[in-house]
């Protein structure tokens, strides 16, 4: 056993145990660690946003040797951004719609064409079966299964017509594919949670207590 | 109350206690498990391994400390792989909380290589062999701007150096110099890398993701939008194994710590325990329901 002399390792370990204590029941140690985490995380983020974004991108440029036109643009954009804070003044809170409109317009304009290409066209293309899929036997089989899965799952979510005739078995097979998907997701979720627990135990037993090398 | 009813009403804290024992046991007394690389992991490894030396590996550390157990071993393994094969590395983060993780990973791996270095060529040097651009925002501007000129997006690196003055900048100007960009994320950021970096600039994208989100990203692997994928701690362990084999081939048998591989015996034991709980719970449920009827 080789216990760490580093006080930060001790603090991190004790806070980890305080969070784990919630598994037994709600308690003041857990509450303390939870609030401390939220406060520290927000303080850390705000500091970085101030020093790495606002100061170099706005204050340094407005107060520096940038051309007058650039300065006017930056000040104008900063004023529009500052309108987010009008949420706290009920009488003029409607002004918050202005920066939200700018942000939504920018985000939609930049993302929609690319999302259509990446998430609809490319994904649809991946379901098309070509001769190349059958260069390897199992690759071909999986390509057929994926095609059936996509068509049947979409059939299940087709609500414009009653699920009768061909649509009924297709939707039923779609449910099976959806359930398999949920099962895989659940299995992966269990794996993820256990992994995080193992990670913390590696820290407690290794970095802190020095039992695990 | 019958045994089955007692099983159904068991206090969840007993289950936590059993799981804790099942996980701690193999950490203290590990049994040997050699992870067999799965095709998505092999694809990513082989791509980086056979990438021309003048092409860089860019790693985007897009996760926060809460998921570091799964994702940090991937970053460390990829850094070891890139440095061992002589590729330049650029590291950035899209999440402000990822800064410390990326910095520590770079410090650890560069120290591992420098401890065995005998000359300047063997060393791993900041600004020459790797650059840590750090973090900036907003995401869209970063992803699109890197396609034009990286130094415009990151005028200074994490350590405060002007990126234009770094020697690595001559070889790593924009996506054209990037062999592959691997995003390690616990969120939907890999989709953004596809939407902005790949669609617009045709850059190769790989991903390392938490197991929770693995099922969401398999369609992108199947469509070829991801070159390869590491899913969860298992994916990290598989990659670590491949890197270890490669490093031994290259005469770098340094026996470095592999946290993902170390965790596999606990992971296996915990999965077996959970499978047992699920089966026992279902049997108990069916038996008690029959008795009620």
Closest Cβ opposite residue A195 in set B200, B220, B233: B233
Mean pLDDT of chain A: 93
Considering only alpha carbons, which residue of chain A is nearest residue B137?
A53
Give the separation between CA B105 and CA B80, rounded to whole angstroms. 10
pTM for the model stands at 0.92
**Burial class of residue A38 (count of CB atoms within 10 Å of its CB; 0-12, 13-18, 19+):** exposed
Per-residue pLDDT, B109: 97
Q: Which residues of B touch A122 (CB under 8 A)?
A: 223, 225
Residue B181 CA, chain-centre distance (Å), reads 12
More reliable by pLDDT, A161 or A175 = A175
Query: What ipTM is given for this predicted complex?
Result: 0.90
Mean pLDDT of A147-172: 92
* pLDDT of A64 over the 80 cut: yes
Is the pLDDT reported for residue B266 higher than 80? yes
B135 vs A contacts (CB less than 8 Å): 48, 52
Confirm or reject contact between B262 and chain A (CB < 8 A).
Answer: yes
CB count within 10 Å of CB A211 equals 14
Count Cα atoms within 13 angstroms, Cβ side, for A116: 5
B27 touches chain A (CB under 8 A): yes
Nearest CA in chain B to A127: B223
HSE-up (13 A, CA, CB side) for residue A69: 0
Question: Region A138-147: what's the mean pLDDT?
Answer: 91
What mean pLDDT value characterizes chain B? 94
Taking 80 as the threshold, does the pLDDT of residue A182 lie above it? yes
Can you give the pLDDT at residue A170?
Answer: 95
Mean pLDDT, to the nearest integer, of B80-95? 97
User: Looking at chain A, which residue has its C-alpha nearest residue B274?
Assistant: A190
Q: CB distance from B103 to chain A under 8 Å?
A: no
Q: What is the pLDDT, as a whole number, of residue B293?
A: 73
Could you give the CA distance from residue A53 to residue A57 in angstroms, rounded to a whole number? 6
Q: Distance (Å, rounded) from C-alpha B116 to C-alpha B112?
A: 7
A111 touches chain B (CB under 8 A): yes
Model pLDDT, residue A40: 95
| Helix or strand holding residue A60 (H, E) | helix A60-63
Residue of B21, B27, B162 for testing the chain A interface, max A β-carbons within 10 Å: B27
């Amino acid at each position: 056993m080789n216990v760490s002399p580093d006080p930060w390792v001790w603090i991190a370990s004790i806070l980890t145990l305080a969070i784990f204590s919630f598994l037994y029941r709600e308690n003041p140690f857990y509450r303390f660690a939870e609030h401390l985490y939220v406060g520290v995380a927000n303080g850390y983020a705000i500091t970085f946003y101030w020093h790495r974004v606002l100061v170099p991108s706005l204050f340094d440029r407005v107060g520096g040797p940038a051309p007058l036109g650039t300065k006017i643009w930056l000040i104008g954009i900063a004023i529009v951004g500052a309108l987010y804070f009008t949420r706290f003044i009920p009488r003029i809170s409607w002004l918050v719609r202005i920066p939200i409109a700018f942000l939504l317009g920018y985000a939609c304009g930049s993302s929609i064409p690319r999302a259509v290409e990446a998430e609809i066209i490319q994904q649809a293309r991946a379901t098309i079966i070509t001769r190349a899929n059958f260069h390897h036997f199992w690759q071909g089989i999986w390509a057929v299964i994926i095609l059936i899965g996509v068509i049947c799952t979409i059939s299940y979510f087709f609500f414009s017509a009653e699920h009768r005739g061909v649509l009924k078995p297709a939707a039923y097979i779609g449910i099976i594919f959806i359930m398999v998907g949920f099962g895989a997701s659940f299995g992966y979720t269990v794996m993820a949670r256990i992994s995080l627990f193992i990670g913390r135990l590696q820290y407690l037993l290794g970095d802190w207590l020095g039992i695990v090398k | 109350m019958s045994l089955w009813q007692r099983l159904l009403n068991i206090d969840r804290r007993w289950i936590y206690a059993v799981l804790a024992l099942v996980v701690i046991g193999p950490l203290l007394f590990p049994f040997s498990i050699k992870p067999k690389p799965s095709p998505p992991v092999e694809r990513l490894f082989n791509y980086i391994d056979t990438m021309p030396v003048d092409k860089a590996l860019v790693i985007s550390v897009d996760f926060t400390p809460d998921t570091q157990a799964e994702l940090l071993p991937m970053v460390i393994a990829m850094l070891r792989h890139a440095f061992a094969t002589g590729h330049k590395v650029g590291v950035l983060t899209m999440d402000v909380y990822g800064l410390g993780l990326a910095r520590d990973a770079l410090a650890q791996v560069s120290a591992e290589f420098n401890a065995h270095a005998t000359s300047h060529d063997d060393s791993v040097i900041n600004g020459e062999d790797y650059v840590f651009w750090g973090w900036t925002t907003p995401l869209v501007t970063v992803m699109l701007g890197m396609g034009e000129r990286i130094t415009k997006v990151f005028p200074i690196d994490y350590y405060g150096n002007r990126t234009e003055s770094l020697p690595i900048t001559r070889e790593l100007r924009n996506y054209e110099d990037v062999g592959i960009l691997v995003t390690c994320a616990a969120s939907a950021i890999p989709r953004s890398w596809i939407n902005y970096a790949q669609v617009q600039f045709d850059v190769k994208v790989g991903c390392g993701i938490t197991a929770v989100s693995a099922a969401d990203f398999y369609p992108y692997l199947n469509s070829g939008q991801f070159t390869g994928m590491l899913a969860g701690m298992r994916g990290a362990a598989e990659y670590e194994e491949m890197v270890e084999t490669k490093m031994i081939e290259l005469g770098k048998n340094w026996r470095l710590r592999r946290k993902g591989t170390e965790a596999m015996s606990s992971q296996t034991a915990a999965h077996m325990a959970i499978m047992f709980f699920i089966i026992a719970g279902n049997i108990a449920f069916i038996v008690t329901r029959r008795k009620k009827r």
